[in-house]
């Protein structure tokens, strides 16, 4: 059998190299462990914003960031501030700090909503005895200047 | 098997049908990003060293778009590829690191990695380290994409172990979450109903969930087999595409930065569509020649 050792090495070098470097450095673009859904915890969070009347302001209409991005921001803020998260283990003050971090990052596209405040909610889903339960908590609020808008 | 591994070759045509949609996807991704971010509140990656947000200013953003367009045109024209792929890789790393520095992780690592290895293929060729550029500029991409799926499997096994399969029914929470995201994004209440229906189905068919998750895990951990030969690569491409479609159907999630490079490099659909069209045209021509001959004979 005629083959080049060098060709054989070149045929796997980037496969092995990318894996080894990623395992060494972790999440550092362009290296990633691709950790999406690498576990299925017994909790899930979604975040939404309401106006003063409790009406949900849909991200597509009101904000420059998508609903999924807002969740990513929450976890990024947790990691940035070394706050442990998940399973509702965050304290009220921690959630307030994180909520404010998120509200600092999202911008309003329109101002036709009730009142002059925005309320960020965290909803938790949990599996209990084969049924999915949910619970929402207001984690941050922000006054909005609506004059001349 | 080793001979197949080494003697794999790709035609110039195959390369063209991969690179053009790839660079279009890349350009749309990075140009969209820079219109969105004004800072980097959670700096990660290269943005820990460089102010990546400097590229999003009102002056720098148009320059950035213009420069990226030049790179796209040069890339399509196959002009000065070593330099062009280098700059595409640099812009890619900075742009997607900026996105992650805003707390948004869309899993774009593979997109940057494939341009880095393309740069390396051209650089190695310029230095005389490799001679078969046609093969390696595609095969290097194949390797990093395969590595990505393998890493995803390693991540699942190291974090959850076999519980990733046995805890699978909890995926119902992720389904409800995904469809709730869709409702909060759009205001369409039908998403909530769909999410509840799918979650109910999963909770009532736990065995099916475990079977599908087990199969997905095996597919990802065995992805190195896609490097064996082109036929296996193609089959893996179809299986992984099926996996992505299944995830999208069930959870309304699709990880485009992984799926698109995989489809283009593993399956190369535009090339096969073109080949199929050419074959049809050839058959039509042969058919016409036969009819013409019959007419003349009569």
Q: How far apart are CA B220 and CA B226, in angstroms?
A: 10
**pLDDT average, residue stretch B150-166:** 94
For residue B12, give how far its alpha carbon lies from the nearest alpha carbon of chain A (Å). 19
**pLDDT average, residue stretch B7-24:** 90
Chain A residues within 8 A of B203 when measuring between CB atoms = 127, 130, 132
Residue B271 CB contacts under 8 Å (≥ 6 apart), including other chains: B13, B14, B17, B18
- pLDDT computed for residue B280 by the predictor: 85
The residue of chain B with its CA nearest to that of A55 is: B187
The residue of chain B with its CA nearest to that of A65 is: B36
Reading the block at residue A60, the tokens are 């597509």
Which of B5, B93, B181 is facing A30, going by the closest CB pair?
A: B93
- pLDDT computed for residue B5 by the predictor: 45
At A100 the three-state DSSP class reads helix
Which of A11, A32, A44 is facing B177, going by the closest CB pair?
A: A44
- pLDDT computed for residue B287 by the predictor: 63
The residue of chain B with its CA nearest to that of A124 is: B177
Contact A72 B103 (CB under 8 A): yes
Question: What confidence tens digit (pLDDT) does each residue in A29-60 have?
Answer: 999 999 988 989 999 999 999 999 999 999 99
Interface check A30 vs B, CB under 8 A? yes
Q: How far apart are CA A101 and CA B90, in angstroms?
A: 29
CA distances from A88 to A139, B178, B281 (A): 12, 19, 63
Question: Which one of B1, B46, B97, B109 makes the best mutation probe of the A interface by having the most chain A beta carbons within 10 Å?
Answer: B109
- pLDDT computed for residue B49 by the predictor: 93
Q: Band of the pLDDT at A130, cuts 50, 70, 90?
A: confident
- pLDDT computed for residue B220 by the predictor: 96
Average of per-residue pLDDT values in chain B: 89
**pLDDT average, residue stretch B30-57:** 84
Residue A106 CB neighbour total at 10 angstroms: 21
At B74 the three-state DSSP class reads helix
For residue B297, give how far its alpha carbon lies from the nearest alpha carbon of chain A (Å). 53
User: What is the 3-state secondary structure of B203-269?
Assistant: HHCHHHHHHHHHHHHHHHHCHHHHHCCHHHHHHHHHHHHHHHHHHHHHHCCCCHHHHHHHHHHHHCH
The verdict on ipTM greater than 0.85 is yes
User: Is the pLDDT reported for residue B70 higher than 70?
Assistant: yes
**pLDDT average, residue stretch B62-88:** 95
CA torsion sign, A96 to B107 to B40 to B61? negative
Helices (H) and strands (E) in chain B — how many of each?
Answer: 13, 0
CB–CB of B101/A80 below 8 Å?
no
Q: Band of the pLDDT at B289, cuts 50, 70, 90?
A: low
Interface check A5 vs B, CB under 8 A? no
Interface check A121 vs B, CB under 8 A? no
Q: How far apart are CA B287 and CA B237, in angstroms?
A: 34
Reading the block at residue B16, the tokens are 């063209």
Question: What confidence tens digit (pLDDT) does each residue in B123-157 have?
Answer: 999 999 998 999 999 999 999 999 999 999 999 99
For residue A144, give how far its alpha carbon lies from the nearest alpha carbon of chain B (Å). 20
Which of A7, A48, A125 is facing B6, going by the closest CB pair?
A: A7
Which of A14, A80, A104 is facing B144, going by the closest CB pair?
A: A14
Backbone angles phi, psi at A131, to 5 degrees: -120, 150
Interface check A82 vs B, CB under 8 A? no
Chain B residues within 8 A of A69 when measuring between CB atoms = 103-104
Beta bridge partners of A44: A125
User: Is the pLDDT reported for residue B247 higher than 70?
Assistant: yes
**pLDDT average, residue stretch B105-111:** 93
**pLDDT average, residue stretch B163-192:** 93
- Out of A56-60, B55-59, B92-96, pick the least confident: B55-59
B-facing residues of A in 59-78 (CB < 8 A) are 59-61, 64-69, 71-77
**pLDDT average, residue stretch A72-88:** 93
Chain B residues within 8 A of A132 when measuring between CB atoms = 172-173, 176, 199, 203
**pLDDT average, residue stretch A22-28:** 95
pTM of the model: 0.83
Beta bridge partners of A135: A124
E strand or H helix that includes residue B109: helix B109-126
CB–CB of A57/A51 below 8 Å?
yes
* Closest among B230, B220, B229 to B153, alpha carbons compared: B220
Q: How many residues does chain A have?
A: 149
Chain B residues within 8 A of A51 when measuring between CB atoms = none
């Amino acid at each position: 059998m005629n083959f080049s050792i060098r060709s054989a090495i070149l045929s796997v070098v980037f496969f092995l190299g990318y894996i080894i470097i990623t395992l060494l450095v972790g999440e550092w673009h362009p290296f990633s462990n691709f950790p999406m859904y690498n576990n299925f915890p017994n909790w899930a969070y979604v975040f939404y914003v309401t106006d003063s009347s409790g009406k949900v302001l849909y991200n597509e209409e009101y904000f420059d960031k998508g609903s999924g991005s807002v969740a990513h921001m929450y976890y990024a803020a947790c990691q940035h501030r070394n706050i442990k998260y998940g399973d509702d283990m965050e304290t009220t003050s921690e959630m307030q700090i994180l909520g404010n971090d998120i509200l600092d990052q999202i911008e309003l596209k329109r101002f036709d909503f009730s009142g002059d405040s925005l309320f960020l909610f965290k909803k938790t889903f949990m599996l209990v005895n084969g049924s999915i339960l949910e619970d929402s908590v207001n984690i941050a609020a922000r006054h909005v200047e609506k004059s001349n808008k | 098997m080793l001979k197949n591994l080494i003697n794999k070759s790709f035609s110039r045509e195959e390369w063209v049908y991969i690179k053009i949609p790839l660079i279009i996807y890349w350009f749309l991704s990075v140009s969209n990003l820079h219109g969105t971010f004004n800072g980097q509140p959670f700096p990660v990656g290269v943005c820990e060293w460089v102010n990546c947000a400097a590229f999003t200013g009102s002056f720098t953003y148009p320059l950035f778009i213009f420069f990226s367009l030049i790179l796209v045109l040069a890339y399509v024209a196959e002009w000065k590829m070593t330099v062009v792929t280098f700059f595409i890789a640099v812009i890619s790393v900075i742009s997607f690191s900026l996105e992650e520095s805003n707390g948004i992780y869309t899993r774009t690592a593979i997109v940057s990695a494939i341009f880095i290895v393309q740069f390396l293929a051209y650089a190695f060729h310029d230095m005389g380290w490799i001679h078969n550029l046609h093969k390696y500029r595609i095969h290097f991409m194949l390797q990093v994409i395969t590595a990505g799926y393998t890493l995803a499997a390693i991540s699942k096994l190291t974090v959850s172990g076999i519980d990733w399969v046995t805890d699978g029914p909890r995926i119902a929470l992720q389904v409800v979450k995904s469809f709730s995201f869709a409702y909060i994004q759009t205001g369409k209440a039908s998403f909530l109903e769909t999410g509840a229906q799918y979650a109910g189905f999963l909770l009532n068919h736990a065995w099916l969930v475990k079977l599908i998750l087990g199969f997905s895990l095996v597919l990802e951990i065995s992805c190195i087999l896609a490097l064996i030969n082109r036929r296996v690569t193609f089959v893996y491409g179809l299986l992984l595409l099926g996996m992505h479609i299944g995830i999208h159907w069930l959870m309304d999630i699709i990880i485009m930065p992984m799926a698109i490079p995989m489809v283009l490099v593993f399956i190369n659909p535009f090339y096969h569509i073109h080949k199929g069209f050419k074959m049809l045209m050839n058959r039509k021509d042969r058919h016409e020649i036969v009819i013409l001959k019959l007419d003349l004979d009569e």
